[in-house]
Amino acid sequence: MAAPGTPTPPWPRTDGLAPALARLGEALDSVLDRPPGTRDAVDAREVWTAALTRPLPETGAGAETTLEELATVVVPHGTRLADPGFWGWITSGPTTLPVAAATAAGVVGGQRYTITAFNLLEEQSLAWLRDLCGLPSDMRGVWSSGGSVANLVALGAARQHAYERHGMDPAADGTSGLRPAVYASSEVHHTVQRAAGVLGLGRRAVRVVPVDGRGRMDVDALRERITADVGDGVTPIAVVGTAGTTNTGALDPLRAVGEVARQFGAWFHVDGAYGLPGILDERIADRYDGLELADSAIVDPHKWLNAPVGVAATFVRDRSLLVRAFTQEPAAYLESIAGEDHLEVGHSLEAMGVPYQDMAVELSAPPRGVVVWSILRELGRDGVRARVRADNDLATRLAGRALADERLELLMEPELSIVVLRYAGDPARRLDDDALDVINLAVLRRLRRETPWLPSDTRVRGVVALRPCFINARTQPEMVDAFAAEVRRLGDELADATAADLVATRR
């Protein structure tokens, strides 16, 4: 506390957080507690846009005014991510404890370096997450901001591994000297192509392998493609298997894919950003057979574990590959605290701890591990398993409703917690796929505007599908039944209107 008579500094203070956080908490709770589908009275976009769009102020409004605007204008008009019916993205509103942990990290966590409790929890949380997801015990990891960076880091290790086998160092000398290729299914997340481009392998170096009728990689086609490429002088850098595709939640046959990768000496990477926690559901755990063959794997806790957005992990068997792939050039201002044990946690407050800055693409980075630690400490393995099972049950429930309703069509049996279905109309007057595409997109728009339910859309087998993804901890089973009924009701209304328009056109 400043001595009596000390002038108040003109810059913002960092004390007095409790009242500010309490006010913000009230605002957030009021949004979270709104009945599904309701809006605040002041919800028109032009109103809150006008309130926030101003020239840079010459004189600050002060902390209280700014906090009140944050609470009353910004918070009520954020994404509906925490609404119980938000099923559109493979991200969801975070639960309470990870929000608290992220807040603590923002205030006293600093960066993820130096020997502090936050630095310790980086490594501890990575180990816990590895064990939770059934990854090999010799894998170690690094946190990053999301699956895009996590895949980039993993494929950076794969690139380093492949070139070193040919006596080259791509991180130091560039990627000339080989004709590289990365193999992935047509359902792989598009960040794999971007990672190949950023790493100098080239987006066109990603060979797209077809999938079977359930959206899983065709292993015979994979083997044939690599065989043909090797015969043409191409070097297989990596094979990417997906444990839970973003589109439909499909699981590639990991053992078969991993064995093909080993046959050709390629790195086997498993993209489990969304679906890797699905291994906890013992009813489908056998579909993850072969995971132990992986050289690297990723998982995003901001997906199925309900962490705040911006948390992903990359795991590799040999973390020294990451150091060789991503190490920075020496910097004098860091060298005095780098420590001698480059890959081990030290015991001095003057040491940097694990040098994550040399294992990925970020130097400045917040401590993300404390967020995941808070989730796993709160729930334990059994609690996370219960959530995963419950979400998969929601998908199964909706699939059952679609199968039981002659006017709904289930386009693919769900493997995890994603369902792809569409309104199919009255079987007695079946509309063609083009008309059904138009109707289903209109159903989607009305769902988002008029109801509590916010799915996304996709294309499956060439037709438009509604795609709810169940990872929202606030969703209740009866909401699934209401969603199915609403899809049918809206679809019937739109189909009747479409039929009327067709009749009028023919007249």
The pLDDT profile of the chain, 507 residues, written as one tens digit per residue, is: 445 555 555 555 556 788 888 888 888 888 877 766 555 444 578 888 888 898 989 888 888 888 899 988 888 888 888 888 889 988 888 888 899 898 888 887 778 877 788 888 999 999 999 999 999 999 999 999 888 999 999 999 999 999 999 999 999 898 988 999 999 999 999 999 999 999 999 999 999 999 999 999 999 999 999 999 999 999 999 999 999 999 999 999 999 999 999 999 999 999 999 999 999 999 999 999 999 999 999 999 999 999 998 999 999 999 999 999 998 866 554 554 444 444 444 444 456 778 788 888 887 888 899 999 999 999 999 999 999 999 999 999 999 999 999 999 999 999 999 999 999 999 988 889 999 999 999 999 999 988 999 999 999 999 999 999 999 999 999 999 999 999 999 999 999 886 556 444 433
Rounded Cα–Cα distance for residues 171 and 278 (Å): 35
Please give the Cα distance from 254 to 243 (Å, whole number): 8
Q: What is the dihedral of CA 47, 37, 92, 387, to 10 degrees?
A: 160
Give CA–CA dist 324/395, Å, rounded: 43
Residue 499 is predicted with a pLDDT of 56
SS3 label, residue 421? strand
Give the per-residue pLDDT at 330: 62
Question: Which two tokens mark 292?
Answer: 């132990």
Q: In what order do the strands lie in the sheet with 206-209?
A: 140-144, 312-316, 296-299, 267-271, 235-242, 180-185, 206-209
Q: Quote the CATH superfamily of domain 380-506.
A: Aspartate Aminotransferase, domain 1 (3.90.1150.10)
Q: Edge to edge, what strands does the sheet with 463-467 contain?
A: 408-412, 420-423, 463-467, 456-460
| Domain regions of the chain by residue span | 98-376, 380-506
Amino acid at 157: A
Alpha-carbon distance 404 to 415, whole Å?
Answer: 19
Helix axis angle for 254-263 and 219-231, nearest 10°, is: 10
State the Cα–Cα distance between residues 30 and 472, nearest whole angstrom.
18
**Cβ atoms of 325 and 157 closer than 8 Å:** yes
The per-residue pLDDT for 3 is 52
- H/E stretch holding 313 reads strand 312-316
Residue with tokens 């040491």: 351
What's residue 47's pLDDT?
85
CATH assignment, 98-376: 3.40.640.10
Q: How far is CA 422 from CA 393, 399, 428, 449, 490, in A?
A: 19, 11, 17, 18, 12
* H/E stretch holding 269: strand 267-271
Backbone angle region of 116, left / alpha / beta, with phi > 0 → left and psi within -120 to 50 → alpha: beta
Q: Within the chain, what is the greatest distance between any pair of CA atoms?
A: 89
DSSP string, 348-415: -TTS--S-GGGTSS-SS----HHHHHHHHHHHHHHHHHHHHHHHHHHHHHHHHHHHH-TTEEEEE--S
Which residue has 């009596």 as its token pair? 4
Q: What is the reported pLDDT for 371? A: 93
